Amino acid sequence: MKKSLRVILLVLALVLIDQSIKIYIYNNLMNKEFYIFDSIFGFKPIINTKYSYFNSFGNMGIGLITHIVLNIVMLFLILIIFYFIKERYSNNKIIYCLFVLVCAAAICSLIDKVFGEEV
């Protein structure tokens, strides 16, 4: 199988897994929570209405459209950087693994913002 097709399929598989888990949690586990080691580590699902961790943590007030534009810009930067590194430093498996993970994360973030539910 051609390497680029394999990379695309891996990214799509990770996106599908991520979105499936989010849909399952949203439909079945939103009202459930449990903790391990008292309150140090646990599971308590919430919907992030501020679109990103940094926006929530810093209370920056950045809107949805800005987040979507930033995600699209990040996807293009990821592609450009990946192709630059691939051409300059050869075809290293670690480079492909990092690209697959980062690209899948950026796509999942974009999907969450475009199709997510605003509460």
Please answer whether residues 104 and 14 qualify as being in contact, where contact means their C-beta atoms are separated by less than 8 angstroms: yes
SS3 86: helix
Domain that holds residue 74: 3-115
What are the residues whose beta carbons fall under 8 Å from the beta carbon of 99, sequence distance 6 or more? Answer: 7, 78, 82
pLDDT at 57: 65
Per-10-residue mean pLDDT for the chain, 119 residues long?
88 97 92 84 82 68 85 93 84 87 94 75
For the residues of 1-23, what is the DSSP string, one character each?
Answer: --HHHHHHHHHHHHHHHHHHHHH
Total number of domains in the chain: 1
pTM: 0.82
- The whole-angstrom separation of Cα 61 and Cα 50 is 8
Helices (H), the chain: 3-28, 53-58, 64-89, 93-115
- Spatial CA neighbour of 105 closest among 67, 68, 62, 74: 74
- The whole-angstrom separation of Cα 64 and Cα 83 is 29
- The whole-angstrom separation of Cα 51 and Cα 67 is 7
pLDDT at 119: 39
